[in-house]
Structure 1
């Protein structure tokens, strides 16, 4: 499969801080595949621009007396590194010969990388790194009716979960492996939907309008969709993507390769949602605690009962959050048990 000689320079809007995905590499793998690192300008230039904007924002906030935490800086660059691994490391060419490695690439591209990038809620730092004209331009663009609808929680969630199903549809998936530009489009849409989804999940700025309960619902829907897709890929009885046999499948036969890929989507993809689930619950509890403290200040002269009630409510919310987190962990352990039982039956 020849590599396209012409590549489109593609940069997603800075408002989403997206970096474009590279088209996949040549189908012929060299013997030293583990040294097949790519350094493509259509990825590295936007990545460098994002790093520049973020570091400029860090400096601007430092000058204003609001230093950025080391935790935020570390997580942001770790997320960007995950995107680099997905598109520039040997994972990319291996994904052309192994369905399971392709699922690892998609997991890094649409889930782990964007999640780590936005987990510390760095939106304020990124905005601080933009000059005034750029911020005003993006603000005007953001007020467009179409973009506001795109940022709606329902739209964001359907894009994030739906695109995973669209690109796993065998005719589309195989077309992407055979055509460079379609594969490029696959990576760009997956990356863009992942950035938009995790941006909305972790945004803590005052302008953020998505309620924490809505964010938990978004996570639940996306996780359920991932479990269903992974379970289908794991439990099916026939090979869905024979194109890998034509290209030269690596390591294992088609059934085992797709079974491993299904487990990656099912287990790793769904369990990874447990971390943001707990993070949102914790932030929700802190928000209720802060609201409770504000309400107790005017009524402090009224007695301890008034002051203790909101705090007790916030404490109960946090306890409920941990209980829900433990319950979710039990659900995932149950899914793992079901998976091993199904493998035993099939064996």
Structure 2
């Protein structure tokens, strides 16, 4: 029994970078929760998202993600949509900031955030247009059969694919679920609500193309050896449906969360409204 459990816990491809990063963020969050009052719902959302990332990248399940197309699509949906959405919805920024030792915040974090490389990278990567395009582009890029083949054959490209999906997902959902008005937020509340509908459209189209394809688009999974004995086209159809339906549902949930933030901003009077121009009536002619 214990051997069977350990088989699933032991990572298929061990990574010190991932493990140390995961432990580091976990420790910061625990320290921050000790210094701030964080609701149970926010904590649960954060830890479920972190657990999904760990299971997707650092357990034996990674073997199935590498050897079956529909399992691979589940992994990508988790890394790009579900896990970042859950973590960002918990609003962990302040908690992680409080988890840092005060000296680190004063001597390292503050000067780094004021430096021009940080501001330049933030201005480019966190630009709403750039983040939205990158969010969609990474999905479509890794669906190109030749790119998928490279990722499956080279472990370095495979890891870059996973990290790129994770990073673009975090950036996009951080912009969409921002609870502040604009400025200082980078998106207006209305655009935050509409953005998931815009980004889900090309994903739905790509999922439909994969779903209704009559030939094997990704023979690399057959070459590497499939984890299950499913029919090739059946596995591809299931993978296309996963890209099509669950991804759209997750993005719809993100849009609803953004709408909730918009309503809260409106009720609190924090949205700046431009006054409507008053129409001037011409003065009556004097006799």
Q: TM-score, normalised by structure 2?
A: 0.83
Matched residue, 2:189 = 212
Q: Hey, what's the Cα distance between the residues in 2 that align with 1:36 and 1:58?
A: 30
Matched residue, 1:268 = 246
What's the RMSD between the two structures over aligned residues? 2.3
- Tell me by how many angstroms 1:60 deviates: 2.8
After superposition, the Cα gap between the structure-2 partners of 1:58 and 1:132, relative to the gap in structure 1 and judged at 3 Å, is: farther
Counterpart selection for 1:229 from 196, 201, 206: 206
Q: How does 1:13-32 map to 2 (within 5 A)?
A: none
Matched residue, 2:174 = 199
Deviation string 1:224-280 (CA, Å, 9 cap, x unpaired) is 122111111101121111111112222212211111100000011111112111111
User: For this pair of structures, how many residues does the alignment match?
Assistant: 259
* Partner SS for 1:209: coil
Matched residue, 1:133 = 107
Q: Is the 8 A contact 2:195 2:255 kept in 1?
A: no
Matched residue, 1:174 = 149
Q: Hey, what's the Cα distance between the residues in 1 that align with 2:224 and 2:69?
A: 11
Q: How does 1:229-308 map to 2 (within 5 A)?
A: 229-249=206-226, 250-291=228-269
Matched residue, 1:153 = 128
- Tell me by how many angstroms 1:33 deviates: 10
Q: Hey, what's the Cα distance between the residues in 2 that align with 1:222 and 1:37?
A: 34
Q: How does 1:59-70 map to 2 (within 5 A)?
A: 59-61=34-36, 67-70=37-40
Q: Is the 8 A contact 1:153 1:218 kept in 2?
A: no
Q: Does 1:94 align with 2:56?
A: no
Q: Hey, what's the Cα distance between the residues in 1 that align with 2:195 and 2:99?
A: 29
Q: TM-score, normalised by structure 1?
A: 0.70
Q: Hey, what's the Cα distance between the residues in 1 that align with 2:155 and 2:149?
A: 11
Q: Which has the higher contact order (CA 8 A, sep 6+)?
A: 2
Can you give the 5+ residue segments of structure 2 that lack an aligned partner in the other structure?
Answer: 274-287
- Tell me by how many angstroms 1:34 deviates: 9.5
Q: Is the 8 A contact 2:179 2:261 kept in 1?
A: no
Q: How does 1:19-58 map to 2 (within 5 A)?
A: 35-39=7-11, 40=14, 41-58=16-33
Q: Is the 8 A contact 1:233 1:262 kept in 2?
A: yes
Q: Is the 8 A contact 1:127 1:135 kept in 2?
A: no
* Partner SS for 2:9: coil
* Partner SS for 2:32: helix
Q: Hey, what's the Cα distance between the residues in 1 that align with 2:112 and 2:175?
A: 17
Can you give the 5+ residue segments of structure 1 that lack an aligned partner in the other structure?
Answer: 1-31, 62-66, 296-347
Q: Hey, what's the Cα distance between the residues in 2 that align with 1:51 and 1:34?
A: 22
After superposition, the Cα gap between the structure-2 partners of 1:45 and 1:224, relative to the gap in structure 1 and judged at 3 Å, is: same
Q: Which runs of 4+ in 1 moved over 6 A?
A: none
Matched residue, 1:20 = none
Q: Is the 8 A contact 2:29 2:95 kept in 1?
A: yes
After superposition, the Cα gap between the structure-2 partners of 1:292 and 1:205, relative to the gap in structure 1 and judged at 3 Å, is: closer
Matched residue, 2:138 = 163
